Amino acid sequence: MDDYSPGLEGVIAAKSRLCQIDGALGKLFYMGYPIEELVEGATYEECCYLLWHGRLPTREELAGLKQELIEKRTLPQQVIDFIALLPHTSHPMDALRTVASLLATFDQNPERSPEANLNRAVVLTAQFPTIIAHFHRLRQNQKPVEPHPKLGHAANFLYMLLGKEPDETMARVMDIAMILHLDHEMNASTFGALVTASTLSDLYSAVATGVGALKGSLHGGANEAVLKMLQEIGDPKNVEAFVDDALAKKVKMMGFGHRVYKNYDPRAKILKEYARRMSEKTKFSRFFKINDKLEKAMVERKGKQGIFPNVDLYSGIVYHQMGIATDLFTPIFAMARVSGWTAHVLEYWQDNKLFRPNSIYEGPGPRKFVPISQR
């Protein structure tokens, strides 16, 4: 009983070399590299290589991975036909989770070596953007846009989704958002993926578990919820009353708070700056102003409790300004995190141990069965 920690708070579930968070200081590192430096100098593909291989790539190695991702982007035609059959009204996270699972049926390779699994990780990472973009276009009765044979990972996603090549700034902001969402230590979806992987199930099942866990509003689903909240608030002048009302009713404010960060989430700091730059002089500046005021109001009231903005507070405004539908925000999070999930699973399988914790039994003691005729 002494060891019981609801939500496994504070419990150490695994050892990992991939990602480190300093919650008190609000710092994040991938393999020791500060997130701020990776955002400044690296691309999403480079960070994928870093986590999959445990070191930064050379120029040739990076070119090789980029080419591999490009070659694996196209979905089998049957998968595209399947996506077209999904109800247009279904949530894109449900579509993504289902199609991630479907991809397993097209992988007939019985090989379970680290190399074969790394290849699957690359396939999943390459195909997640295609699944999301195709689903979105098909639900709007538009033809899917074939992956671009040259564009980088983030730019190609925007191209397939919006039907035209993004400008350099837009592509770079998406790339940065993807770097920021790539990994985050032992978060709920990564843990979920590891639990599935620890049974020696397969990588597709682990990733489908990750997508399912990410969907919830306490985790990745918060970015979609933030934008809905901004729309509900409507105007910066309504912020204070909205916050007071929510806190009085003990409603959780989406985009605030974190299990590990008890300081400003460094990813939110970075995205806030891009959201600010993108909002300047546009019709979306109202959203930024609401968010900025919301942040001040929340930090004033809840900062001493360690509740600060998290990454989801500003990602929504950034995607919204790119013209992306609100219900695609969480799938975009998944599309970035898939390489993180797979990197953790590949690492965990090097020294696998089945996850099987205990629970405290609180039901009745042993008693005699009562046959149905006597109940």
Strand partners, 30: 19, 33
Site for ligand COA in 236-255 (CB under 6 A): 252-255
320 catalytic? Reply is: no
> According to CB under 6 A, which one of 218, 299, 322, 325 is a site residue for ligand COA?
218
Q: Please report the DSSP string for 152-164 in residue order.
A: -HHHHHHHHHHSS
Task: Report the residue number, 131 or 253, with the smaller CB distance to ligand COA.
Answer: 253
For the chain, the residue count is 375
Question: Of 175, 183, 265, 312, which one is the catalytic site residue?
Answer: 312
The residue number with the shortest CB distance to ligand COA is: 257
Question: Of 258, 265, 320, 344, which one is the catalytic site residue?
Answer: 258
Q: Total binding residues for ligand COA by CB under 6 A? A: 18
136 catalytic? Reply is: no
Backbone Cα Rg of the chain = 22
Per-residue x/- mask for ligand COA, residues 287 to 306, rule CB under 6 A? Answer: ---------------x--x-
Q: Please report the DSSP string for 184-224 in residue order.
A: -SS-HHHHHHHHHHHTT--HHHHHHHHHHHHTSTTTTTHHH
Task: Report the residue number, 307 or 336, with the smaller CB distance to ligand COA.
Answer: 307
227 binds ligand COA (CB under 6 A): no
Compute the least distance from the CB of residue 100 to ligand COA, in Å. 21
151 binds ligand COA (CB under 6 A): no
Tokens of 134: 């195709």
235 catalytic? Reply is: no
Say which residues have a Cβ less than 8 Å from residue 114's Cβ, sequence separation at least 6.
Answer: 346, 349, 350
Do residues 69 and 125 lie in contact, with contact meaning Cβ atoms separated by under 8 Å? Answer: yes
Buried-state track 125-141, b at ≥16 Cβ within 10 A, e below 16? bbbbbbbbbbbbbbbee
28 binds ligand COA (CB under 6 A): no
> According to CB under 6 A, which one of 307, 332, 336, 346 is a site residue for ligand COA?
307
> According to CB under 6 A, which one of 75, 151, 161, 222 is a site residue for ligand COA?
222
Compute the least distance from the CB of residue 102 to ligand COA, in Å. 28
8 binds ligand COA (CB under 6 A): no
Site for ligand COA in 252-281 (CB under 6 A): 252-259
Residue type, 274: Y
Pick left, alpha or beta for residue 163 (phi over 0 → left; psi -120 to 50 → alpha; otherwise beta).
left
52 binds ligand COA (CB under 6 A): no
Task: Report the residue number, 137 or 258, with the smaller CB distance to ligand COA.
Answer: 258
Task: Report the residue number, 120 or 337, with the smaller CB distance to ligand COA.
Answer: 337
Task: Report the residue number, 172 or 301, with the smaller CB distance to ligand COA.
Answer: 301
Compute the least distance from the CB of residue 69 to ligand COA, in Å. 27
Task: Report the residue number, 166 or 255, with the smaller CB distance to ligand COA.
Answer: 255
Compute the least distance from the CB of residue 220 to ligand COA, in Å. 7
Q: Where are the alpha helices (DSSP H) in the chain?
A: 35-41, 44-53, 59-71, 77-85, 92-103, 114-139, 153-162, 168-181, 188-198, 203-214, 222-233, 239-248, 266-279, 285-302, 312-321, 329-349
Which range binds ligand COA by CB under 6 A, 93-101, 160-168, 217-225, 326-334?
A: 217-225
Do residues 26 and 206 lie in contact, with contact meaning Cβ atoms separated by under 8 Å? Answer: no
Task: Report the residue number, 155 or 268, with the smaller CB distance to ligand COA.
Answer: 268
Residues annotated catalytic, as ranges: 219, 258, 312
Residues of this chain that interact with ligand COA (CB under 6 A) are 7, 218-219, 222, 252-259, 302, 305, 307, 310-312
